[in-house]
Amino acid sequence: MSVLGVYGVEHASSLVYYGLHSMQHRGQEGCGMVSAEPSGEIHRHRGYGLVQEVFNEEKLSKLEGTMCLGHLLYTTAGGGRNTDNIEPRSFLHNTGSFAIAHNGNIVNAKQIRDYLESKGSLFQSNTNAELLAHLIKKEADEPRIFTIMEALDMLEGSFAFVIMTQNRLYACRDKYGIRPLAIGKLGDGYVVSSETCAFDVMGAEFLRDVEPGEIVTIDHNGLRSRKYSLKSEHNMCAMEYIYFARPDSDIDGCNVHAFRKESGRRLWREAPAEADIVVGVPDSSLSAAMGYAEESGLPYEMGLIKNKYIGRTFIQPSQALREKGVKMKLSAIRSIVEGKRIALIDDSIVRGTTSKRIVNMLREAGATEVHVRIVSPTMKYPCCYGVDTTSQDELISAKHSVEEVCKIIGADTLAFMSVKECLASSNGKCEKMCFACFDGIYPTPMTHDISEINKKK
């Protein structure tokens, strides 16, 4: 999922279009935009599909205004299709309309929702945006910033919220610092985005990250900052660096490509492979493969090629579709891999489907040995912060030892990176991160146990 907001720029929706497109890798299920005119009039369009499928010039021309919010939807398995779940959500209220886009997952959502429903609130969707809206509306007699701050402090879990009122944007990040959110400057206006790669395509200049527990108000006075919570921890989702984000993005001051390359170097030191060439699985593992090759002195080769026009396999909802997708997505280059011992670098193993197919593909193309090196630790626990890493039952490393996984995927040898080395790959830029899907240490209070998370998936 990702959020994007533009304040104070002509044709804000066109910029959001380009920004969302640059972050398409974060969610391909659906997308939406809500724009606001200085008069307070709000326009909205949303739909299932990629950004360029949902929006065209005609749709964008109707999204008038100098403020705009955008959202990309990434459905968790079994999430079902309900257009109401596509954000941004907009709300009418006697103190003025507002819209909200969200990235993350609130772990005490059920408790808050039960409480609000018992008080008479009626929900139209399952979105965390609507949950926050109900909390904000509850105390409408105070200035809005205070009701928003109170509402945010009631939420446990991960979030990056962008709230658009008739004349302001509010950018808010969870107090645990799990999900990213950055602010950029664009002419006289501002941009807020889940990933900084959007700033480059929009012509914006990176200003800073929103801090954990912070709410930044953006309006005609510029930027103002407040802390809505005394807590402000840095537990950035390790999977952002490992897999999700684009290599050209900087998250909490650490560049994603630099992180991945360093993790490749460290993985060689932790788990060297006797190989002739290093091959990375495109695209998310290429930076790490470069690091592994550089540190080992082995040649870095393009043994696999990706068809760019197919979405990320994992995001397609059913296993059958996923399997089909893997085949369509990658091909081995015979002239490169034939007769070679390969060190195959991939970012993660979730169910094991991808690795098994790739190892098989390389062998069919003539590789003599395949040594799989994974640039993340073994994934054993479900994520409850908005990343669809599937239920624990389906996580291959939750049920099998490394030796067993090696056999299942058909590799000659297999090694994963340790949590310690993974964290060290930020070169001191991150002191802590969330590694909960790897080590089971969840940085927030948990209002339900893992079996409940599993049931939900």
Cis bond before residue 88 (omega within 30° of 0): yes
Q: Which is nearer to ligand AMP, 66 or 249 (CB)?
A: 249
Q: Does 315 bind ligand SF4 (CB under 6 A)?
A: no
Q: Does 388 bind ligand AMP (CB under 6 A)?
A: yes
Instruction: Report the residue from 4, 396, 417, 434 that binds ligand SF4 according to the rule CB under 6 A.
Output: 434
Q: Which is nearer to ligand SF4, 67 or 178 (CB)?
A: 178
Q: What is the DSSP string of 425-446?
A: TTTTS-S-EE-HHHH---SS--
Number of residues that bind ligand SF4 (CB under 6 A): 12
Residues forming beta bridges with residue 76, ordered by sequence position: none
Instruction: Report the residue from 28, 76, 105, 354 that binds ligand AMP according to the rule CB under 6 A.
Output: 354
Instruction: Report the residue from 347, 365, 367, 377 that binds ligand AMP according to the rule CB under 6 A.
Output: 347
Classified as helix, coil or strand, 145 is: helix
Classified as helix, coil or strand, 341 is: strand
Instruction: Report the residue from 164, 273, 344, 350 that binds ligand AMP according to the rule CB under 6 A.
Output: 350
The CB-of-383 to ligand AMP minimum distance in angstroms stands at 7
Instruction: Report the residue from 135, 237, 344, 358 that binds ligand SF4 according to the rule CB under 6 A.
Output: 237
The CB-of-27 to ligand AMP minimum distance in angstroms stands at 10
Q: Which is nearer to ligand SF4, 64 or 388 (CB)?
A: 388
Q: Which is nearer to ligand SF4, 28 or 103 (CB)?
A: 103
Of 67-75, 147-155, 429-437, 447-455, the window that binds ligand SF4 (rule: CB under 6 A) is: 429-437
Q: How many residues does the chain have?
A: 457
CA dist 60 and 101 (Å) reads 18
Instruction: Report the residue from 144, 261, 312, 373 that binds ligand AMP according to the rule CB under 6 A.
Output: 312
When CB distances are held under 5 to 8 angstroms depending on the partner's kind, the choice from ligand SF4, ligand AMP, none that residue 434 binds is ligand SF4
CA dist 59 and 70 (Å) reads 14
Neighbour tally for 393: CB within 10 Å:
10
CA dist 288 and 241 (Å) reads 11
Contact letters (x/-) for ligand AMP, 2-41, by CB under 6 A? ----------------------------------------
Spatial neighbors of 388 by CB under 8 A, at least 6 apart, are 74, 75, 76, 77, 314, 315, 457
Given a contact cutoff of 8 angstroms between Cβ atoms, the answer to whether 294 and 262 are in contact is: no
When CB distances are held under 5 to 8 angstroms depending on the partner's kind, the choice from ligand SF4, ligand AMP, none that residue 196 binds is none
Classified as helix, coil or strand, 120 is: coil
CA dist 103 and 112 (Å) reads 18
Q: Does 349 bind ligand AMP (CB under 6 A)?
A: yes
When CB distances are held under 5 to 8 angstroms depending on the partner's kind, the choice from ligand SF4, ligand AMP, none that residue 362 binds is none
Q: Does 350 bind ligand SF4 (CB under 6 A)?
A: no
Contact letters (x/-) for ligand SF4, 162-201, by CB under 6 A? ----------------x-----------------------
Given a contact cutoff of 8 angstroms between Cβ atoms, the answer to whether 410 and 384 are in contact is: no
Instruction: Report the residue from 228, 243, 292, 416 that binds ligand AMP according to the rule CB under 6 A.
Output: 243
DSSP 315: G
Instruction: Report the residue from 13, 108, 217, 284 that binds ligand AMP according to the rule CB under 6 A.
Output: 284
The CB-of-387 to ligand SF4 minimum distance in angstroms stands at 4
Q: Does 435 bind ligand AMP (CB under 6 A)?
A: no
Neighbour tally for 143: CB within 10 Å:
8
Given a contact cutoff of 8 angstroms between Cβ atoms, the answer to whether 355 and 338 are in contact is: no
Instruction: Report the residue from 3, 69, 239, 245 that binds ligand SF4 according to the rule CB under 6 A.
Output: 239
Of 162-170, 231-239, 336-344, 416-424, the window that binds ligand SF4 (rule: CB under 6 A) is: 231-239
Instruction: Report the residue from 14, 165, 196, 389 that binds ligand SF4 according to the rule CB under 6 A.
Output: 389
Rg (Cα) of the chain, in Å, rounded?
A: 22
Strands 250-251, 254-255: pairing kind: antiparallel
Instruction: Report the residue from 3, 4, 162, 238 that binds ligand SF4 according to the rule CB under 6 A.
Output: 238
List the structure tokens of 156: 């446990």
Classified as helix, coil or strand, 107 is: coil
CA dist 221 and 229 (Å) reads 23
Nearest alpha-carbon partner for 298 in 267, 257, 259: 267
List the structure tokens of 39: 């008069």
Backbone φ, ψ for residue 324 (5° rounding): -60, -45
Residues at the interface with ligand AMP (CB under 6 A)? 243, 281, 284, 312, 314-315, 346-355, 387-389
Residues at the interface with ligand SF4 (CB under 6 A)? 178, 237-239, 383, 385, 387, 389, 434-437
